[in-house]
Amino acid sequence: MMVEISFIDTVWVLVAGVLVFSMQLGFAAIEAGFTRAKSTMSIWMKNMSDMIIGSIFFMVIGFTIAFSGSGPFIGDLGHFLLKDVGLEAWDGLAIPGILFFFFQMMFAATAATIVSGAVAERIKYIAYFIISIVIIVLTYPVIVHWVWGGGWLAERGFVDFAGSTVVHSVGAWSALAAVIVLGPRIGKYTKEGVPKAIPGHNIALAGIGLFVLWFGWFGFNPGSELAADSAIAMIATTTNLAAAAGGLGAIIVTWLKLKKPDVGMTMNGILAGLVAITAPCAAVTPISSVIIGFIAGIIVVFSVYMFEGKLKIDDPVGAISVHGMCGVWGTLAVGLFATEGGLLTTGAVDLLVTQIIGVVATFAFVFTLMLVVCKIIDIAIGMRVPEAVEISGLDTAEFGGDAYPDFVRT
């Protein structure tokens, strides 16, 4: 049956998709600011590349794997090369199919771009390129199919409104696999294994990235309603409150722990709040969103210490903590705080159990697949640049340039 297209829905989802696109700028800027000047071109190149790959490869095959057919685990080729995706209304929505694709494509590119910060300053460009393609054509679309494409998790009632698990955890667990294969940057650890700070080169650039991400999230979460109804107002509010509470959590924890509030960690805290509220943003009250964000801001600080200190995993921007750990927290928070079916709000356990199953299954699939992919890349062409290249900087060796040719490098 043909559903009538709503033009207000169409305009809203299109604008929201463009807001999600702006997050690419946010990621590129915060990652560039958090890393050294000698890696700046490399950061921007990777961020452009995953947008390029995300656009083209998701059009070719990623979209159909995610949204075609009713198989429990993986989509079929019904929408290969956007077959039957056009101006007609998308199933169950009042927006054109091609706009649904446009919006989802921006999400796919977001999942892929999460990896670039974690692997910064040491990965070979070609290895990153291949990893991005695998994420866009297989890893991400499979999880999307499970949750948003009518797959087995959707059948079980798993709730991930805008993608704490589907987008953020997928990116983060891919990053974790890549970083484990890569190893830490030269100079990150002393001989005794004590982590050292490697200060980023521009906190102001990172700050611009942070606010652009926060801005883009007002498309990411409210846009996922896929309609211009009254719910988008509540979603925008819970999103903003969680971001603010996440920042507050990080300020308080670092102030108590370090005697001075930490600026970079506050940025991570705000992003942690945003990632955490992404799954529950449509299912919780504003007060719950503050609690969810605040806890995320605390989790992210201790998670960064845990990955860097205990696990010896060098993640220069904290992507695994922000998107992985807080993605998990946000997904579980649905099961705790949802006004319908949350453990703390209604006493029901089923939803929380489903959320746990979804989180564990996503980790198992994404991490295992990407670990195998990265190992194969490592054996075939090498994941990591040679030592001399890493020391002189990826920009010169891989891209023949210098981000700041007039400045003395350190």
Partner 1 sequence: MKKIEAIIRPEKLEDVKRALEEMGCVGMTVSEVKGRGAQGGIERQWRGRTYKVDLLPKIKISLIIKEKNAKKVIDTIVESAKTGDIGDGKIFVYPVESVIRVRTGEVDYDAI
Q: Which amino acid is at 291?
A: I
Residues 252-281 that bind partner 1 (CB under 8 A): 254, 257-258, 260, 262, 264-265, 268
Least separation in angstroms between residue 282's CB and partner 1 is 32
| 165 is an interface residue for partner 1 by CB under 8 A | no
* The two structure tokens encoding residue 376: 């194969």
* The two structure tokens encoding residue 76: 């079929």
What's the CA angle centered on 352, arms 357 and 334, to 5 degrees? 110
Extended strands (E) in 179-291: none
Tell which one of 228, 244, 298, 304 touches partner 1 (CB under 8 A). 304
| 301 is an interface residue for partner 1 by CB under 8 A | yes
Taking the least distance from each CB to partner 1, the nearer of 32 and 95 is 32
Name which of 382, 363, 346, 28 is nearest 182 in CA terms: 382
Taking the least distance from each CB to partner 1, the nearer of 12 and 307 is 307
Taking the least distance from each CB to partner 1, the nearer of 56 and 258 is 258
Task: Provide DSSP, 148-207.
Answer: TSS-HHHHHT---SS-IIIIIIHHHHHHHHHHHHH-PPTTSB-TT--B-----S-HHHHH
As a whole number of angstroms, the distance between CA 1 and CA 18 comes to: 29
Quick check: 367 and 375 in contact, CB under 8 A? no
Stretch that binds partner 1, among 5-13, 79-87, 283-291, 299-307 (CB under 8 A): 299-307
Quick check: 352 and 330 in contact, CB under 8 A? no
Residues in binding contact with partner 1, number by CB under 8 A: 20
Tell which one of 72, 157, 187, 199 touches partner 1 (CB under 8 A). 199
DSSP category for residue 123: B
| Residue 25 exposure: Cα atoms within 13 Å on the Cβ side | 13
Taking the least distance from each CB to partner 1, the nearer of 71 and 199 is 199
Residues 51-90 that bind partner 1 (CB under 8 A): none
Taking the least distance from each CB to partner 1, the nearer of 257 and 312 is 257
Entry field: residues in the chain: 410
Least separation in angstroms between residue 338's CB and partner 1 is 32
Least separation in angstroms between residue 293's CB and partner 1 is 19
* The two structure tokens encoding residue 395: 């920009």
Taking the least distance from each CB to partner 1, the nearer of 27 and 34 is 34
As a whole number of angstroms, the distance between CA 154 and CA 314 comes to: 34
As a whole number of angstroms, the distance between CA 322 and CA 144 comes to: 20
| 186 is an interface residue for partner 1 by CB under 8 A | no
Tell which one of 7, 11, 196, 379 touches partner 1 (CB under 8 A). 196
Residues 5-44 that bind partner 1 (CB under 8 A): 34
Residues of this chain that bind partner 1 (CB under 8 A): 34, 195-200, 254, 257-258, 260, 262, 264-265, 268, 301, 304-305, 308, 318
